[in-house]
Amino acid sequence: MEFLLPSPITVVPSIFIFFLCLYFLHRKNTPTNTKVPPEAGGAWPLIGHLPLLRGHVGHALGTLANKHGPIFTLRLGVQRALIVSTSELAKECLAGLNEKAFLNRPKSIAIDHLSYNYANFALSPYGPYWREMRKITMLELLSNHRLATLSHVRKLVVKNSVQKVYEKWVKEGSCLVEMKRWFEDITMKVTVGVIAGNVKPDVEEGFREAFKTFFDLMGMFNVADAIPSLGRLDLGGYEKVVKRTGMKMDDVLQQWLNEHKRRKNSAESVEAEKDFMDVMLETLDGGTNGALNFDADTITKATCVGLTLGAIGLTTITLTWAVALLLNNPHALKKAREELDIKIGRQRQVEESDIENLVYIQAIIKETLRLYPPAQLVPPRVNAEDCIVGGYHVPSGTILFVNLWKIHHDPQVWPDPWEFQPERFLTTHKDVDLKGMHFELLPFGSGRRGCPAISFALQVLQFTLASLVHAYDIATPSNEPVDMTESLRFNNVKAMPLELLLTPRLPSDVYGG
């Protein structure tokens, strides 16, 4: 039998066509854009750019953006992080084509132990459980109707706080108040009242102490999260503190829950005064559906923790900065008082129903959140799939940081970005709101992972600030400008205490007694 061998003239083209087909097949299954974002220089061996996170993160990342552009990457130990610093890129990641890719949160030691194993839906992975809990929270806990039924809690706490200052002034002839503590006390009482109703003072104080540690831990960056192999060493005893704090928080929450169950079984609760725990017990009564893969008690406690963390931390930080800014800008403080005197007068205190007419007070809150967002970065997300951001290929597993500090101070969007100008929200930026649809102003985030408690937070912020400025003249003891130093952490807390003299400016009978 004879075999016919192909000639070189036919073999070479055939081999060429074969490899050409393999090439195009490979291209079809490979991302068309493999250009990667620039990586910032200055990475250290093993730990990468972790030292950058020890100072003012927003400033540090903003300086790198000036050098590398609005999108670049960092190496945080073994993790890759993407930093975006413009409103356009923020929109692309948080609510645009890539929103679904970036719907997950990165895991951490603190979240592991403080979120009830991710039962806190604000920190849980995207999926059926997250969707069901967000729906329940928005419909049953944070709807306008539900918030309206609990307005008496906000009114009672704020008015009592205003009255206590007056009583101290009458007794001592002056009243020096540490404002961070005062605002924290108000927001703590409002939030606890809305979530759990009336609780015993000693229980509330135990919750306050545990919460402050909880808030600090959630605002810290732990090296072991970036380099997991160091986790077993528990450097500095971080994980030990996290576990202990989680147990304290759970003890308090379990006491609240037990009391609510007892009250529910004895039919003591009144429909108009049902708090968040009451609603959760009713909603989850009889077990949980297939999407809720935790027991009802765990879900209730985890949801309350999530609402508390956002409400107390955000409002205390923002109110402290707002008052500091007003003191350093007397013209704005004068305009706020003039608005209050015109719209309300001096014969009664502020009511929540007045807020819609206090447009300058609303503008002050917006401008404060622009200049000093409670978090310098949008809470981190991580992409579950490869995606293209700003024309660059971003592989799955990349942590996303949106630099709010940089976006909120962009001179292309905000003329005189370092100046406190509430008027801008009544003129050039009057249509910019805080609900996550205007990406040049994102203190509450945006998209499906944005803060669900925006309405609640704004009610507390606006009502508390208006009540204070209306009821009291405020001044520093030395009449010197307020120190505006920011703390060196993710949570944008004012570094120095804010001690102020409060002097009544209304008739004595207005303060109650």
With respect to residue 75, please indicate whether it lies within any of the assigned structural domains: yes
Chain centroid to CA 316: how far?
A: 12
Task: Indicate the pLDDT class of residue 489, thresholds 50, 70 and 90.
Answer: confident
User: Do the Cβ atoms of 132 and 289 come closer than 8 Å?
Assistant: yes
Strands in 57-118 per DSSP E: 71-76, 79-84
CATH of the domain at 292: 1.10.630.10
pLDDT digits (tens, 9 = 90+) for 167-214: 999 999 999 999 999 999 999 899 888 888 877 776 677 777 877 788
With respect to residue 152, please indicate whether it lies within any of the assigned structural domains: yes
pLDDT digits (tens, 9 = 90+) for 155-166: 999 999 999 999
Question: 79-84 and 399-402: which strand pairing?
Answer: parallel
Q: What's residue 286's pLDDT?
A: 60
Question: 71-76 and 472-475: which strand pairing?
Answer: unpaired
Q: What's residue 4's pLDDT?
A: 33
Number of domains present in the structure of the chain: 1
Task: Indicate the pLDDT class of residue 367, thresholds 50, 70 and 90.
Answer: very high
Looking at the predicted structure, is the pLDDT value of residue 8 above 70? no
- Strands of the 472-475 sheet, one edge to the other: 176-178, 499-504, 472-475
The DSSP result for 416-465, as a single string, is STTS--GGGGGTTTTT--SSSSSTT--TT--GGGS-TTHHHHHHHHHHHH
With respect to residue 235, please indicate whether it lies within any of the assigned structural domains: yes
Q: How far is CA 479 from CA 181, 331, 474, 501, in A?
A: 21, 15, 10, 10
What is the number of residues in the chain? Answer: 513
Alpha helices in 82-143 (DSSP H): 87-94, 109-114, 128-136
> Which of the two residues, 292 and 500, has the higher pLDDT score?
500
For all residues of the chain together, what is the average pLDDT?
87
With respect to residue 9, please indicate whether it lies within any of the assigned structural domains: no
Residue 278 DSSP class: H
Alpha helices in 173-218 (DSSP H): 179-196, 201-218
State the distance between the two ends of the chain, measured CA to CA, in whole angstroms: 117
Task: Indicate the pLDDT class of residue 112, thresholds 50, 70 and 90.
Answer: confident
pTM equals 0.90
Q: What's residue 52's pLDDT?
A: 79
Looking at the predicted structure, is the pLDDT value of residue 19 above 70? no
CA 391 to CA 36: how far, in whole Å?
Answer: 9
pLDDT digits (tens, 9 = 90+) for 228-277: 877 777 877 888 988 998 898 899 899 999 989 988 777 655 555 788 89
Task: Indicate the pLDDT class of residue 428, thresholds 50, 70 and 90.
Answer: very high
Angle in degrees, 0-180, between the axes of helices 151-172 and 179-196, rounded to the nearest 10: 150
Q: Which domain holds residue 323?
A: 35-511
Q: What's residue 154's pLDDT?
A: 92
Q: What is the mean pLDDT of residues 73-94?
A: 95
User: Do the Cβ atoms of 70 and 79 come closer than 8 Å?
Assistant: no
Looking at the predicted structure, is the pLDDT value of residue 494 above 60? yes
For residue 385, what are its two tokens?
């799939």
User: Do the Cβ atoms of 440 and 87 come closer than 8 Å?
Assistant: yes
CA 227 to CA 374: how far, in whole Å?
Answer: 27
Chain centroid to CA 46: how far?
A: 30
Looking at the predicted structure, is the pLDDT value of residue 353 above 90? yes
For residue 279, what are its two tokens?
């609603």
Q: What's residue 270's pLDDT?
A: 56
Q: What's residue 409's pLDDT?
A: 97
Task: Indicate the pLDDT class of residue 291, thresholds 50, 70 and 90.
Answer: low
With respect to residue 264, please indicate whether it lies within any of the assigned structural domains: yes
> Which of the two residues, 284 and 401, has the higher pLDDT score?
401
With respect to residue 302, please indicate whether it lies within any of the assigned structural domains: yes
CA 114 to CA 308: how far, in whole Å?
Answer: 13
pLDDT digits (tens, 9 = 90+) for 307-331: 887 778 889 999 999 999 999 999 9
CA 444 to CA 238: how far, in whole Å?
Answer: 28
Q: What's residue 319's pLDDT?
A: 98
